[in-house]
Amino acid sequence: MRIFYYPADRRQELEGRGDILGVVGYGTPATWQGRAPYVATALVPMGPPMYEVIAGGPAISATREGVHYAHDGEWLFAAVALGAREPMASVAAEAYGRILRVAEGEGYGYLIRAWQYFPDIHGLDQGLERYRQFNRGRHQALEGYLARGGLRPAATCIGAPRGDLTLHVLAHRTPGLAIENPRQVSAYRYPDIYGPRPPDFVRAMKVASAGRGWLWISGTAAIVGHESQAPGDLEAQARETFANLDALVACAGLGADRQVLAVKAYVRVPDGARLSWPQPWGMAPALILRGDICRSELGLEIEAVVV
Ligand code: 3EB
């Protein structure tokens, strides 16, 4: 598996390749001529439009139930976009339901990583914040999967400026190892002050692949215990965020030669793009996107892949 960020003007090169599991667009056109599944998110980078490319072995691509997916015998990438104007709980449940039927049906029974973007994340839906409605639907859709021995994925959930709900995932043939953060309460055990159902994700998932441990780190923010830190102080939030990222890597048992393969940051306001990044996080290829972090007091969220 490899992860690259490509400028949008190199699209034709990507469309011709046969080793791509999935392409995620940020500020890129909706059209796509390639065989690989493509999801055009409504998120926009702080710089020029970019494609994120997840490449693997020679891939088989297909579409079922509106889910575009590809698999290479080890990993499966799947993406679905659904209109986000319906009640958010049902949209979330439908999206997860379709993705799970496809992934499990193809023999990739373990979700490792999920990305979820939808508009108006703080808006109200039947008296409850849309993010909290999303959590209700996700929880309902994952119930059966968890009962069958499925594992919660690492995840990112970000508010987009417009568009559909897009859900894209990586699933694996074998289970990952969930890594939680000792500085944080597990999200799936958050108290109900954050909504009637908790967000079903783990802080990171570790997968053994190609002789190495691959650590997929969830969207990580300035939360300690279950509480947001330093509202209104973006630099202090960044320090807590990097402390959380460091803590996850320390818990994951990766080799001393580990490296940060790729990072994405989501910033609520453009100022977030001017923060300075400590090592090792500042070294990796990075994509900085404008987005609404799912708690309104948080200005920054960072995700990463470390191998
Ligand atoms: C948090 O730690 C911040 O609902 O899938 C980060 C990553 C967050 C994923 C999700 C939410 C999600 O609670 C928010």
* Ramachandran angles phi, psi of 11, nearest 5°: -60, -45
Q: How far apart are CA 192 and CA 133, in angstroms?
A: 13
Predicted pLDDT at 84: 83
Predicted pLDDT at 156: 99
State which of 186, 192, 223, 301 you would mutate to test the pocket of ligand 1, scoring each by most atoms of that ligand within 8 A of its C-beta.
Answer: 301
Ligand 1 in contact with 245 (CB < 6 A)?
A: no
Walking along the chain (307 residues) 10 residues at a time, the average pLDDT comes out as 96 95 98 97 97 96 98 98 93 98 98 98 97 98 98 98 98 98 98 98 97 97 98 97 98 97 97 94 96 98 98
Predicted pLDDT at 86: 87
Ligand 1 in contact with 294 (CB < 6 A)?
A: yes
Ligand 1 in contact with 154 (CB < 6 A)?
A: no
Contact of 84 with 164, CB cutoff 8 Å: yes
Ligand 1 atom 11 nearest Cα: 157
Predicted pLDDT at 17: 94
Q: How far apart are CA 1 and CA 247, in angstroms?
A: 25
CATH number where 221 lies:
3.30.1330.40
Distance (Å) of CA 165 to CA 82, 222, 305: 5, 25, 23
Q: How many domains does the chain have?
A: 1
- Show the domain range for 296: 2-306
Ligand 1 in contact with 153 (CB < 6 A)?
A: no
Ligand 1 in contact with 248 (CB < 6 A)?
A: no
Q: How far apart are CA 59 and CA 184, in angstroms?
A: 37
